[in-house]
């Protein structure tokens, strides 16, 4: 049934029957068939791309993960001082040692990073509200432009390249290691910054992700910026940039953010 037909059918019914009818109309396999093709032959947010297999990562008993001695702690639950929002103060809620998105805007680290190892813990809202990409959506954006998706993808049929720890719009995770909503989860990400020379891309950004200790991205090259329904591209930028946390309108919580700056690509030997 088309969305319009669904809406008309729902409107034709009365009272309690309307929500039930709308629920029945939700696409069981959300995605797109009219978006650009990726180099691997799938479309951006391809409706037909296989969803990653679910893996139970076990309980969150090892969280929070202590920061190593050489890490820069971006958030320890006490303040948002390491962040700004659009140049002004960060205004997310501070709740029970976590920060929570509240539609006040994306957060950006004041410090800038190039290659790095990032640890971040997050928790999707429970009970569940919304569906598909409207379920616990946030994201970790390196350089403010390259997103590792944060999403409540626990038993969520949303498109594969939009699931938790996807390189958004480019590459699904190897497996779906999402914990149920309301439970704390962790990303450990190794991000290698893209290199530019003379205004041109020399080497793409590369990303490795462990989601709840499970490998979900292994040294994957980003195709450029991560976009909704579009192909990304590279625009030359500096060697360092902010890490952004997306305020997608859902009250996703984060805690225990720490980062270890790295220098993973070295000049070629002469
Ligand atoms: Mg997102």
Q: How far is the centre of ligand 1, averaged over its atoms, from the C-alpha of 268 (Å)?
A: 36
pLDDT at 25: 59
- Å from CA of 243 to ligand 1 middle: 14
pLDDT, position 267: 59
221 C-alpha to ligand 1 centroid (Å): 19
Options 3.30.2290.10, 3.40.50.1820, 2.60.120.560, 1.10.287.70; CATH for 32-261 is 2.60.120.560
Q: What pTM was estimated for this model as a whole?
A: 0.90
Provide the pLDDT for residue 27.
85
Q: Which of 145, 80, 66 is nearest to 113 (CA)?
A: 145
Ligand 1: centre distance to CA 133 (Å): 8
Determine the pLDDT at residue 266.
66
Distance from Cα 168 to the centre of ligand 1, integer Å? 7
How far is the C-alpha of 219 from the C-alpha of 115, rounded, in Å? 13
> Measured in Å, how far apart are the chain's first and last C-alpha atoms?
64
Distance (angstroms) between ligand 1 centre and the Cα of 164 equals 9
In Å, what is the CA distance from 126 to each residue of 183, 189, 255?
Answer: 9, 25, 17
DSSP string across 18-85: HHHHHHHHS-SS--BSSSPBPTTSPBTTBTTSPPPPB-----STTPSPPPPTTPEEEE-SS--TTEEE
216 SS3 class: strand
Q: How much distance in Å is there from the Cα of 166 to the middle of ligand 1?
A: 9
- CATH 2.60.120.560 domain position(s) in the chain: 32-261
Residue 49's nearest CA partner among 161, 215, 152, 168 is 161
pLDDT at 10: 44
pLDDT at 270: 55
- State how far the alpha carbon of 64 is from the alpha carbons of 20, 81, 159, in Å: 39, 20, 30
Which parts of the chain have pLDDT scores under 70?
1-25, 266-270
**pLDDT computed for residue 98 by the predictor:** 98
Per DSSP, 170 falls in state: T
- Between the CA of 182 and the centroid of ligand 1 the distance, in Å, is 18
């Amino acid at each position: 049934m088309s969305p319009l037909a669904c809406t008309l059918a729902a409107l034709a019914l009365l009272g309690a029957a309307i929500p039930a009818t709308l629920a029945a109309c939700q696409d069981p396999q959300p995605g797109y068939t009219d978006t650009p093709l990726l180099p691997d032959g799938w479309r951006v947010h391809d409706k037909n791309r296989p969803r990653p297999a679910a893996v139970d990562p076990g309980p969150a008993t090892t969280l929070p993960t202590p920061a190593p001695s050489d890490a820069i702690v971006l958030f320890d639950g006490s303040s948002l001082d390491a962040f700004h929002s659009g140049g002004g103060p960060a205004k997310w809620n501070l709740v029970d040692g976590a920060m929570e998105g509240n539609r006040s805007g994306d957060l950006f680290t004041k410090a800038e990073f190039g290659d790095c190892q990032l640890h971040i813990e997050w928790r999707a809202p429970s009970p569940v509200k919304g569906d598909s990409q409207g379920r616990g959506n946030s994201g970790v954006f390196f350089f403010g432009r390259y997103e590792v998706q944060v999403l409540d993808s626990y038993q969520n049929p949303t498109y594969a390249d939009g699931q938790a720890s996807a390189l958004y719009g480019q590459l699904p995770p190897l497996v779906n290691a999402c914990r149920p909503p309301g439970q704390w989860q962790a990303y450990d990400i190794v991000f290698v910054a893209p290199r530019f020379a003379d205004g041109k891309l020399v080497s793409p950004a590369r990303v490795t992700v462990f989601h709840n200790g499970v490998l979900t991205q292994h040294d994957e090259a980003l195709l450029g910026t991560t976009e909704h329904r579009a192909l990304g591209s590279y625009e030359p930028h500096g060697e360092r940039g902010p890490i952004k946390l997306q305020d997608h309108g859902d009250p996703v919580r984060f805690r225990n953010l720490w980062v270890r700056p790295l220098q993973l690509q070295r000049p070629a030997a002469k």
